[in-house]
Chain A
Amino acid sequence: MIFIAPDEKIIRIVRKHWFILLVETVAYHIFFFIPFAIYFGVLSGSIPEQYIASILALTSPSFLIFLASVWTLVIWMKLSAIWADYYLDTWIITDRRIVDIEQFGFFKRSVSSFRMERIQDVSIDVHGLIPTLLNFGDIHVQTAGEAREFVMKGIGAPSEIKNLIREQSDMHVSTNL
């Protein structure tokens, strides 16, 4: 559970770019639609009748429907798990700190936070054609003390996030002086 103080203001909740989610799920989307593609292939006559007759000689249409429903259900659950992983993997930027939450599957979760005044350097890394065109990349935040670097990969609008963190950090430092 993330505890936000009553007077602490959440500025922004940052997640990875949608393209990252798309890349992770594209294979499962294709797998999900395979039974439907076969069904429409049978209807349209694209699949040779010999194969259809061979399979129906072994089993019944009910069994094929059963297999297709099990297949799509398992893939649907996997897609939901990927989405939950994507959704729970986030940075919460408040007016006092940044909370870095990394979700690894369902049962591994890492939460760390660092205060704005500890931020020393913020840098971004946009690498490649697609990240440049779709405006996403990695953001690195270097903090003081343990010389620790926090990295969030594949976030959308990294320049905007970098400016936001820098503004909040500057504001926090100037009000504390």
Chain B
Amino acid sequence: MQPTEIEGVRDFFGPYEDLFFSLFQKELPFLIWIAIAFVLFIFALYTIVLAYHLFRYGIGAHIYLPTFLAYLAISFVLISIMLGSAVFLL
């Protein structure tokens, strides 16, 4: 017999079902805001430090600069996806 949707949830999360329901459904916006703030803070910190190292210690910066720009480009793509998906959740 195929499990129903709720039985499937119970099978997957077991005794933590209530906790997961609580986190994902009741506290979701708060958790998302915290995650966005945390990730953007870390991103800003990393970017400032990487840029500082580039301009201060940049011997052979012809290699560092394109890599730094690639880091920025991919980060912005990922941040856009993160914020884009968050719009549907908040």
Contact = CB atoms under 8 A, between A and B. Distances in A.
Interface of A: 1-2, 13, 50-51, 53-55, 57-60, 62-63, 65-66, 69-70, 72-74, 76-77, 80-81, 83-84, 87-88, 90, 92, 101, 106-107, 109
A8 to B, nearest CB: 13
Interface in B31-74: 32, 35, 39, 42-43, 46, 49-50, 53, 56-57, 59-60, 63-64, 67, 71, 74
A70 to B, nearest CB: 6
A57 B3 contact: no
Contacts of A74: 39, 42
A107 B57 CA distance: 13
B3 A63 contact: no
Contacts of B89: 60, 62-63, 66
Contacts, number: 96
Q: How large is the interface on B (under 10, 10 to 19, 20 to 34, 35 or more residues)?
A: 35 or more
B53 A80 contact: no
B32 A84 contact: no
A73 B63 contact: no
Contact of B35 (A54, A70, A76): A70
Contacts of B5: 53-54, 57
Majority SS of interface residues in chain B? helix
Nearest to B82: A69
Which 3 interchain pairs have the tightest Cβ spacing?
A69-B82, A62-B88, A66-B85
Contacts of B20: 58
B65 to A, nearest CB: 11
Given A51-B12, A84-B53, A65 B85 contact: yes
Contacts of B28: 59, 63
Given A83-B67, A84-B53, A106-B53, A54 B11 contact: yes
B3 A50 contact: yes
A51 B3 CA distance: 11
Contacts of B3: 50
A66 B82 contact: yes
A57 B9 contact: yes
